[in-house]
Amino acid sequence: EVQLVESGGDLVQPGGSLRLSCVASGFTFSDYTLIWVRQAPGKGLEWISYITSTSGTIYYADSVKGRFTISRDNAKNSLYLQMNSLRHEDTAVYYCAREKKWEVRGGYYSDYWGRGTLVTVSS
């Protein structure tokens, strides 16, 4: 069974740092691209970062660029999100997800998601 389990969410002061982890099981982790998505309280889903299987390609949303760093350790089946210079507006549930492509000419879509970890930025 495919599972993704996030951890590391906490209450942190503005300007602080936090490192989120996502541990995967039930599939060959090193074969898949992974992403982080967040949802602020009462708001919609926001895609924030993307990393390919070998970490060769990485993208960030403008809202987190320069402050967040995505990484992975394929030997540990783990995805990470280092979050620095945190702001009130970073308060959200953070989800990791696996990307899959079904059709040769199709796109990549998030077929499995974790249950999320809550990050609260407040003084």
Partner 1 sequence: EIVLTQSPATLSLSPGERATLSCRASQSVGSYLAWYQKKAGQAPRLLIYDASNRATGIPARFSGSGSGTDFTLTISSLEPEDFGVYYCQQRYGWPSLFGGGTKVEIK
Asked if 80 and 93 count as a contact pair (C-beta separation under 8 A), the reply is no
**Cα 3 from Cα 7, distance rounded (Å):** 13
Q: How many binding residues for partner 1 (CB under 8 A)?
A: 24
Residue 36 as a binder of partner 1 (CB under 8 A): the answer is: no
Question: Quick one: 13 exposed, middle or buried, by C-beta within 10 A (0-12, 13-18, 19+)?
Answer: exposed
31 C-beta neighbours (distance < 10 Å), count: 10
Interface with partner 1 (CB under 8 A), residue from 24, 34, 37, 86: 37
CB 71, min distance to partner 1, A:
19
Question: Can residue 56 be called a binding residue for partner 1 (CB under 8 A)?
Answer: no
Q: Which residues bind partner 1 (CB under 8 A)?
A: 37, 39, 44-47, 50, 59, 61-62, 95, 97, 102-103, 106-111, 113-116
